[in-house]
Amino acid sequence: MNSRIRKGARGEEIAARHLEGRGFRIRARNYRTRRGEIDLVAERGRTIVFIEVRFRRSEAFGSPAETVGPRKRRRIVSAAAAFLVEHGLAERPCRFDVIAVTGPAAGPEEILHIENAFDRDGRPTGCWSGS
């Protein structure tokens, strides 16, 4: 496994632990469809939460969250629609979060959880100004 994949897997594991510690239940990891991929799918109450995880060792070149651009958001929304239909959850409320993990390879990490980062059209919400 190359270092980029290992780093991504580590970021996703950190994000999953973060979510579970806050009462979320992880429903799926690395959900893939030809439409796109979703790093984590979680559930809290009745809400299905689709999470894009970004990991960087530092913010020297910007926040990891800033790397979730319009094209990526559209692909996540498209994959989320497929997930909801495939799992019979189309009537459930959902949202799109971004979790940015920053820190050195050995930790400790800083976690920024941006809830409701973008809408079903892939547009950033008022709480986030994603590129």
Identify the pLDDT of residue 5: 59
Asked if 52 and 39 touch (Cβ cutoff 8 Å), the reply is yes
Q: 110: exposed, middle or buried (C-beta count within 10 Å: 0-12, 13-18, 19+)?
A: exposed
Bridge partner residues of 101 (DSSP) = 55, 111
Domain ranges of the chain: 3-118
Residue 131, pLDDT above cutoff 50: no
Residue range 88-123, pLDDT digits in tens = 999 999 999 999 888 766 667 789 899 998 888 888
Mean pLDDT of the chain: 84
Length of the chain: 131
Identify the pLDDT of residue 89: 96
Could you tell me which of 91, 90, 50, 47 has the C-alpha nearest to residue 73? 50
Q: Which CATH number fits domain 3-118: 1.25.40.10, 3.40.50.1820, 3.30.379.10, 3.40.1350.10?
A: 3.40.1350.10
Could you tell me which of 37, 23, 19, 26 has the C-alpha nearest to residue 114? 19
